[in-house]
């Protein structure tokens, strides 16, 4: 296990070194005048930034000290800026090479100013956008829905990623919003925690203020399974939220099944978990599971509605494009597969860079009809 982690860290760090080297070469080729011999301040700065996220991440697995949290936040923001800056550098070379093909001589500094300026603006927008949680309202029509549930509203919250970037204050804002919206039931679809070292009880404490008439329900995401999940489950239970572990509860006639991420990563394991829940196909049912990976199995097992998160929509380009290729239409929003309706949320928080461009953090209100 340690060998695999070491290999992964070396690969990630190598990619980051190359990305920063590319930025340096682009900047010096397009903007900077020839410098004096020796190591420049720019080289030192980029070399330091190139190792910042890996170092901060390794520290975050061992400590939640305020200094570690600050370092992690700064390095995470820089990782997002780096992504847009890398695209800007690629654009500089592409446009310059294209212009040279037509024997044009564009101003190199102008290219850098335009593309890196756009990268900076995109990064600033991404940080602000990611911090602004929206409320999205959708209407869901389910066959065989108990009459008592028609007109009722469920809230879906996923991927808050509590830890070194967002803490209890962020969750308090989420809970305050839910209190104002007054949903009848609340579903938390995993990755409540980011998986780094944290005071898990303190982070989950705001959930105790949830006052949904028909309760709140939680399933684990992949980030709760980076280590022993027990501490997360205990913290969530202590806050008064029901943890569903491959089990069914019937709430005023509506069947609700929750399956943790670890039980949804394999076809047979997932199918066995769903069948073991004993869902009545003749009545409406909701499946709460973190990732929209195996929706065809949920449809085959007769579920009416699946609620998931996990994808984040990719958060920002090019990951938005990659994620949409991986998940297809189930990457986000309300979709249908046969008799199954699926809602995949962008999530309320972020993972890695706290940036969103092309996606919006959300709390989802689903009104049943």
Q: For position 248, which CATH number holds?
A: 3.60.21.10
**In the prediction, which pLDDT does 34 show?**
60
The helix/strand/coil state of 297 is helix
Q: Are residues 28 and 74 in the same domain?
A: yes
**In the prediction, which pLDDT does 112 show?**
94
Q: Are residues 203 and 342 in the same domain?
A: yes
Pairing of strands 254-259, 247-251: antiparallel
Q: Is 324 exposed, middle or buried (0-12, 13-18, 19+ CB in 10 A)?
A: middle
The helix/strand/coil state of 145 is coil
Q: How far is CA 151 from CA 25, 187, 283, 286, 307, in A?
A: 59, 17, 17, 16, 18
**Close Cβ partners of 324 (under 8 Å, ≥ 6 residues apart):** 313, 314, 331
Placement of tokens 């709460």 in the chain: 288
The helix/strand/coil state of 307 is strand
Residue that terminates a domain, selected from 108, 130, 152: 130
Q: Are residues 126 and 207 in the same domain?
A: no
- The single-letter DSSP state of residue 193 is B
Q: Are residues 106 and 238 in the same domain?
A: no
Buried b (16+ CB within 10 A) or exposed e, 95-105: ebeeeeeeeee
Token couple for 70 = 């600050």
Token couple for 290 = 């973190």
**In the prediction, which pLDDT does 33 show?**
65
Cβ pair 179, 209 in contact under 8 A = yes
Q: Are residues 90 and 144 in the same domain?
A: no
pLDDT by position in tens, the chain (length 369): 678 888 889 999 999 999 999 999 999 999 876 655 667 888 999 999 999 999 999 999 999 999 999 999 999 999 999 999 999 999 999 999 999 898 888 999 999 999 999 999 999 999 999 999 999 999 999 999 999 999 999 999 999 999 999 999 999 999 999 999 999 999 999 999 999 999 999 999 999 999 999 999 999 999 999 888 999 999 999 999 999 999 999 999 999 999 999 999 999 999 999 999 999 999 999 999 999 999 999 999 999 999 999 999 999 999 999 999 999 999 999 999 999 999 999 999 999 999 999 999 999 999 999
CA dihedral 52, 56, 59, 60 (to 10 degrees): -170
Q: Are residues 209 and 94 in the same domain?
A: no
Token couple for 337 = 């597969």
Q: Are residues 41 and 187 in the same domain?
A: no
Q: Are residues 219 and 362 in the same domain?
A: yes
Residue that terminates a domain, selected from 130, 145, 161: 130
**Close Cβ partners of 2 (under 8 Å, ≥ 6 residues apart):** none
Cβ pair 54, 16 in contact under 8 A = yes
Contacts 24+ apart (CB under 8 A), 267-273: 267/294, 267/297, 270/294, 270/297, 271/297, 271/300, 271/301, 273/246
Q: How many domains does the chain have?
A: 2
**In the prediction, which pLDDT does 3 show?**
84
Residue that terminates a domain, selected from 111, 130, 149: 130
Enumerate helices (H) and strands (E) in the chain, giving the number of each. Answer: 10, 12
**CA-wise closest residue to 177 among 211, 149, 219:** 211
Q: Are residues 176 and 120 in the same domain?
A: no
Q: Are residues 175 and 305 in the same domain?
A: yes
Token couple for 265 = 């990563």
Placement of tokens 């980011």 in the chain: 194
Cα distance between residue 165 and residue 353, in whole Å: 9
**CA-wise closest residue to 291 among 243, 242, 347:** 347
Q: Are residues 110 and 147 in the same domain?
A: no
CA dihedral 353, 354, 360, 363 (to 10 degrees): 120
Determine the structural domain holding residue 283 and report its residue range: 134-368
**CA-wise closest residue to 23 among 97, 83, 98:** 83
Q: Are residues 84 and 58 in the same domain?
A: yes
């Amino acid at each position: 296990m340690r060998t695999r982690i070491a290999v992964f860290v070396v690969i990630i760090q190598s990619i980051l070194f190359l990305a920063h080297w590319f930025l340096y070469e682009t900047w010096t080729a397009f903007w900077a005048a020839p410098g004096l011999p020796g190591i420049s301040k720019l080289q030192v700065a980029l070399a330091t930034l190139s190792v910042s996220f890996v170092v901060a991440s390794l520290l975050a697995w061992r400590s939640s000290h305020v200094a570690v949290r600050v370092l992690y936040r700064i390095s995470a923001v820089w990782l997002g800026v780096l992504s847009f800056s890398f695209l800007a550098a690629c654009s500089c070379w592409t446009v310059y090479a294209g212009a040279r093909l037509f024997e044009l001589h564009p101003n190199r500094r102008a290219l850098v100013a335009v593309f890196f300026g756009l990268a900076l603006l995109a990064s600033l927008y991404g940080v602000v956008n990611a911090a602004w949680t929206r409320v999205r309202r959708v209407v869901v029509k389910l066959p065989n829905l108990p009459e008592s549930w028609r007109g009722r509203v469920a809230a879906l919250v996923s991927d808050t990623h509590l830890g070194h970037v967002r803490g209890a204050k962020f969750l308090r804002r989420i809970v305050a919003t839910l209190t104002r919206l007054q949903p009848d039931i609340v579903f938390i679809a995993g990755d409540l925690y980011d998986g780094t070292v944290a005071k898990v009880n303190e982070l989950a404490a705001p959930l105790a203020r949830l006052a949904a008439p028909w309760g709140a329900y939680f399933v684990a995401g992949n980030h709760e399974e980076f280590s022993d999940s027990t501490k997360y489950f205990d913290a969530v239970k202590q806050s008064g939220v029901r943890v569903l572990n491959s089990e069914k509860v019937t709430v005023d006639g509506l069947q609700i099944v929750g399956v943790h991420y670890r039980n949804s990563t394999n076809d047979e394991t997932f199918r066995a978990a769903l069948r073991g829940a004993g869902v009545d196909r003749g009545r409406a049912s909701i499946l709460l599971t973190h990732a929209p990976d195996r929706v065809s199995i949920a449809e085959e097992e007769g579920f009416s509605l699946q609620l998931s998160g996990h994808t984040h929509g990719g958060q920002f380009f090019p990951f938005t494009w990659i994620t949409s290729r991986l998940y297809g239409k189930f990457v986000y929003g309300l979709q249908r597969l046969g008799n199954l309706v699926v809602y995949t949320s962008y999530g309320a928080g972020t993972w890695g860079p706290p940036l969103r461009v092309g996606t919006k953090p959300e709390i989802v209100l689903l009104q049943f009809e």
